[in-house]
Amino acid sequence: MDHSNEKNSGGIPNWLLFLFFGAVLIGGLYAIYMHGFLGYDRALALRDARGIEYHVPTAGVYMFAQIPAKSPAAIASGEASYGQVCAACHGPELRGGVGPNLVDAEWLHMDSPTTLAVARRVVHGVSASESVTGGVMPQRGNGQLVDNKIWEVVYFIQSRNPSIADEEQTQ
C-alpha cells in the first residue's frame, strides 16, 4: 500500500507541518492585531469617535513633478516658507494652534508619517468634511506653495520631527 501521502520527503508528518505553519500564521495575525490595538491613541479615538474616514494615500493621489533633494539650504528655505504660510495656524515652534502640533507623535491624518504623506496632505489641505478638530487647512498653503516649496517645508518639519520617515514616490 502507498503511504507516501502521509509523510513528506523530509520525514516530518504532514499534520505536524500543518500545526507548525498554523501556529506561525496565528502568531502573525495576533501581532498585527496587538500592534494596531496598542497603537490606538487619543487622537485616533477622537478621529474615530467623529466618524472621520482615515485617509491613506493610495493610487490616484497627487504625483509630484518636482521633488528637491534634502539639503541644509532646502531646510532653511522651508523654514522661511513655514514662517510665512504655516506658522499662523501651526505655531512658530510647530507646537500647534488652530492646526495640530506637528512635532509630536500624534497624527490625525496619517498612520505612520512619511515625507510623502505629509507633502500630499499639504497639497490636499484638510476639508471641513475631513476635519477631526473642526478646523480646516487650505490647499497648498492657500495656493502659495508650488511642489518644491512644499517639499522644502516638509524637510523643515522633518528636521524638527525625526519621527517622519523618508518615503520615495513610487506612485
Residues in contact with ligand HEC by CB under 6 A are 85-86, 88-90, 98-100, 102, 107-110, 118, 121-122, 126, 131-133, 135-138, 141, 145, 153
Min CB(156)–ligand HEC separation in Å? 8
By beta-carbon proximity to ligand HEC, the closer residue of 68 and 138 is 138
User: Which residues lie below 8 Å from residue 53, measured CB to CB, with a gap of 6+?
Assistant: 130
Alpha carbons 125 and 138: distance in angstroms, whole number? 5
* Torsion angle (degrees, nearest 10) of CA 92, 97, 102, 107: 180
Minimum CB separation from ligand HEC for residue 12, in Å? 49
Give the containing element (helix H, strand E) for 159.
helix 147-160
For ligand HEC, which is the closer residue by CB, 14 or 139? 139
Distances (CA, A) of 29 to 22, 24, 25, 41: 11, 9, 6, 21
Least distance between ligand HEC and beta carbon 167 (Å): 14
Cα 138 from Cα 143, distance rounded (Å): 8
CB of 28 to ligand HEC, least distance (A): 28
In the complex, minimum distance from the CB of residue 152 to ligand HEC, in angstroms, rounded to a whole number? 10
Q: Which is nearer to ligand HEC, 14 or 136 (CB)?
A: 136
Lookup result for grid cell 498554523: 22
8 vs 139, beta carbon nearer ligand HEC: 139
DSSP code, position 146: -
* Closer residue to ligand HEC, CB minimum distance, 108 or 116: 108
